[in-house]
Protein backbone atom coordinates (compact mmCIF):
# COMPACT_ATOMS: atom_id res chain seq x y z
CA UNK A 1 0.00 0.00 0.00
CA UNK A 2 2.57 2.54 -1.14
CA UNK A 3 4.72 1.99 1.96
CA UNK A 4 1.87 3.05 4.26
CA UNK A 5 0.16 0.82 6.77
CA UNK A 6 -3.53 0.20 7.33
CA UNK A 7 -3.67 2.65 10.24
CA UNK A 8 -2.62 5.47 7.90
CA UNK A 9 -5.53 4.75 5.56
CA UNK A 10 -7.99 4.19 8.41
CA UNK A 11 -7.11 7.67 9.74
CA UNK A 12 -7.69 9.23 6.30
CA UNK A 13 -11.04 7.45 5.98
CA UNK A 14 -12.08 8.58 9.49
CA UNK A 15 -11.07 12.17 8.66
CA UNK A 16 -13.14 12.10 5.46
CA UNK A 17 -10.24 12.31 3.01
CA UNK A 18 -10.93 8.88 1.51
CA UNK A 19 -14.30 7.41 0.49
CA UNK A 20 -14.38 3.66 -0.09
CA UNK A 21 -16.92 1.71 -2.16
CA UNK A 22 -17.29 -1.98 -1.59
CA UNK A 23 -19.53 -4.97 -1.81
CA UNK A 24 -19.28 -7.10 1.31
CA UNK A 25 -15.58 -7.55 1.97
CA UNK A 26 -14.57 -6.69 -1.63
CA UNK A 27 -13.09 -3.25 -2.31
CA UNK A 28 -14.57 -1.99 -5.59
CA UNK A 29 -13.02 1.46 -5.61
CA UNK A 30 -12.03 4.52 -3.66
CA UNK A 31 -11.43 8.24 -4.02
CA UNK A 32 -8.90 10.27 -2.05
CA UNK A 33 -9.13 14.06 -2.03
CA UNK A 34 -7.93 17.10 -0.15
CA UNK A 35 -8.53 20.83 -0.45
CA UNK A 36 -8.53 21.74 -4.15
CA UNK A 37 -7.37 18.36 -5.44
CA UNK A 38 -8.30 14.77 -6.09
CA UNK A 39 -5.22 12.72 -5.34
CA UNK A 40 -6.45 9.24 -6.25
CA UNK A 41 -9.44 7.56 -7.85
CA UNK A 42 -9.36 3.82 -8.36
CA UNK A 43 -12.00 1.40 -9.64
CA UNK A 44 -11.47 -2.35 -9.91
CA UNK A 45 -11.47 -3.30 -13.60
CA UNK A 46 -14.36 -5.73 -13.08
CA UNK A 47 -16.43 -2.91 -11.50
CA UNK A 48 -15.82 -0.44 -14.35
CA UNK A 49 -18.60 0.79 -16.61
CA UNK A 50 -21.29 0.77 -13.91
CA UNK A 51 -21.15 4.43 -12.87
CA UNK A 52 -19.11 3.83 -9.73
CA UNK A 53 -16.21 5.97 -10.97
CA UNK A 54 -18.50 8.91 -11.64
CA UNK A 55 -20.19 8.58 -8.23
CA UNK A 56 -16.85 8.42 -6.44
CA UNK A 57 -15.54 11.37 -8.48
CA UNK A 58 -18.60 13.42 -7.48
CA UNK A 59 -17.88 12.62 -3.82
CA UNK A 60 -14.23 13.56 -4.34
CA UNK A 61 -15.25 16.90 -5.87
CA UNK A 62 -17.34 17.65 -2.78
CA UNK A 63 -14.43 16.61 -0.53
CA UNK A 64 -12.06 18.93 -2.45
CA UNK A 65 -14.27 21.90 -1.63
CA UNK A 66 -15.06 25.08 -3.52
CA UNK A 67 -12.79 26.56 -6.16
CA UNK A 68 -10.73 24.96 -8.88
CA UNK A 69 -9.98 21.25 -8.48
CA UNK A 70 -6.79 19.73 -9.87
CA UNK A 71 -5.79 16.15 -10.54
CA UNK A 72 -3.25 14.08 -12.42
CA UNK A 73 -4.80 11.53 -14.77
CA UNK A 74 -3.24 8.56 -16.49
CA UNK A 75 -3.53 8.70 -20.27
CA UNK A 76 -6.25 6.04 -20.30
CA UNK A 77 -8.33 7.94 -17.69
CA UNK A 78 -8.02 11.45 -19.17
CA UNK A 79 -11.09 11.02 -21.40
CA UNK A 80 -13.22 10.04 -18.41
CA UNK A 81 -12.18 13.18 -16.55
CA UNK A 82 -12.76 15.38 -19.62
CA UNK A 83 -16.27 13.92 -19.89
CA UNK A 84 -16.76 14.92 -16.23
CA UNK A 85 -15.76 18.56 -16.84
CA UNK A 86 -11.99 18.55 -16.31
CA UNK A 87 -9.74 20.39 -18.78
CA UNK A 88 -6.29 19.08 -19.75
CA UNK A 89 -3.45 21.47 -18.94
CA UNK A 90 -0.55 19.43 -20.30
CA UNK A 91 1.33 16.17 -20.02
CA UNK A 92 4.40 15.23 -18.03
CA UNK A 93 6.27 12.19 -16.78
CA UNK A 94 5.57 11.15 -13.19
CA UNK A 95 7.47 8.71 -10.99
CA UNK A 96 4.84 6.92 -8.91
CA UNK A 97 5.73 6.20 -5.27
CA UNK A 98 9.47 5.93 -5.80
CA UNK A 99 9.27 3.75 -8.90
CA UNK A 100 12.09 3.88 -11.44
CA UNK A 101 9.56 3.61 -14.28
CA UNK A 102 7.91 6.91 -15.19
CA UNK A 103 4.23 7.10 -16.08
CA UNK A 104 2.93 9.72 -18.49
CA UNK A 105 0.16 11.75 -16.87
CA UNK A 106 -2.19 14.52 -17.92
CA UNK A 107 -2.45 17.45 -15.51
CA UNK A 108 -6.12 18.51 -15.40
CA UNK A 109 -8.32 21.10 -13.73
CA UNK A 110 -12.02 21.59 -13.20
CA UNK A 111 -12.67 25.31 -12.95
CA UNK A 112 -15.00 26.67 -10.28
CA UNK A 113 -18.33 27.83 -11.60
- Is the pTM higher than 0.75? The answer reads yes
pLDDT on residue 104: 94
pLDDT tens for 28-76 read: 888 999 999 999 999 989 989 999 999 999 999 999 999 999 999 999 9
CATH number of 6-110: 3.40.630.30
pLDDT tier at 13, thresholds 50, 70, 90:
low
| CB neighbour burial string for 73-87, b if at least 16 within 10 angstroms, e if fewer | beeebbebbeeeebe
Q: Which residues pair with 87 in a beta bridge?
A: 109
For the chain, the domains span 6-110
In contact, 64 and 71? CB cutoff 8 Å:
no
| CB neighbour burial string for 12-34, b if at least 16 within 10 angstroms, e if fewer | eeeeebbbebeeeeeebbbbbbe
Amino acid sequence: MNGRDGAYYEALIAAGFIIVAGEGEILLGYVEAGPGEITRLFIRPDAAGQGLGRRLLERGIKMAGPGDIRLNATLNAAGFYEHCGFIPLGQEMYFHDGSDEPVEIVKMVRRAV
